[in-house]
């Protein structure tokens, strides 16, 4: 089964091209013009074991908000498209990831309903050229457009770089688990309703 998606989104604020393979090897090629965001998306692809190419041009002369938000929109849509009808997937995923003193947990339900629970405080406003508020903005767009419930909680940590990286890596590992085929499911949709 080919679980891939290729999407393009162009607005007056951003132009994004994205290729996703859920069953990849973790190969990434990321260029958003926002160095720290590129670093986080690379970590997400690598630890989810997704092949992920993202090229984004945005109105960075204003700030990074539109670019980060729109990448979240397109990646969420791509995940939803690549999963298809969700037949035979695990559906739920969770991970607790340490990054030195930081410890972050993520839990995902590929439920067909978008929701973000986000309890990840940052002790400084910027990470390189990216506002720390945009970490939540990215995950909000990702969950809403991927139509899944995503909870992210910081259990420990204060270094903003470590906190963000633990958040992205925990989401990556939770996604990897949730989209994985469940060998016991025998191709069934993982819901008592028969549809997700």
Q: Catalogue the long-range contacts made by 138-143 (C-beta closer than 8 Å, 24 or more residues apart).
A: 138/37, 138/68, 138/69, 138/71, 138/72, 139/72, 139/167, 139/171, 140/72, 140/116, 141/69, 141/70, 141/71, 141/72, 141/73, 141/76, 142/72, 142/75, 142/76, 142/79, 143/76, 143/114, 143/115, 143/116
Report the C-alpha gap between 105 and 127 in whole angstroms: 20
Cβ-in-10-Å burial (0-12, 13-18, 19+) of 17 comes to middle
- Per-residue pLDDT at 1: 75
CATH class given for the domain over 4-179 = alpha beta
- Per-residue pLDDT at 156: 98
List the one residue out of 61, 53, 52 whose CA is nearest residue 22: 52
Q: Report the first-to-last Cα separation within the chain, whole angstroms.
A: 19
Report the C-alpha gap between 4 and 61 in whole angstroms: 33
Inter-CA distances, 25 with 9, 21, 48, Å: 25, 9, 9
Low-confidence ranges of the chain (pLDDT < 50): none
Parse the chain into domains and list their residue ranges.
4-179
């Amino acid at each position: 089964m080919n679980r891939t998606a290729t999407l393009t989104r162009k607005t007056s604020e951003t132009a994004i091209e994205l290729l996703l393979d859920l069953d990849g090897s973790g190969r990434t090629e990321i260029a958003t013009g926002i160095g720290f965001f590129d670093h986080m998306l690379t970590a997400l692809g690598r630890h989810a074991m997704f092949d992920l190419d993202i090229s984004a041009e945005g109105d960075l002369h204003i700030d990074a908000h539109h670019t980060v938000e729109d990448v979240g929109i397109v990646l969420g849509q791509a995940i939803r498209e690549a999963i298809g009808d969700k037949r035979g997937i695990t559906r739920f995923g969770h991970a607790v990831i340490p990054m030195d003193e930081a410890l972050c947990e993520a839990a995902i339900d590929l439920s067909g309903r978008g929701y973000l629970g986000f309890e990840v405080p940052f002790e400084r406003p910027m990470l390189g050229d990216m506002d720390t508020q945009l970490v939540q903005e990215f995950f909000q767009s990702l969950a809403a457009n991927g139509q899944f419930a995503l909870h992210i909680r910081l259990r420990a940590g204060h270094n903003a770089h470590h906190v963000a990286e633990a958040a992205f890596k925990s989401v990556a590992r939770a996604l990897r688990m949730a989209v994985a085929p469940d060998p016991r499911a025998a191709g069934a949709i993982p819901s008592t309703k028969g549809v997700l």
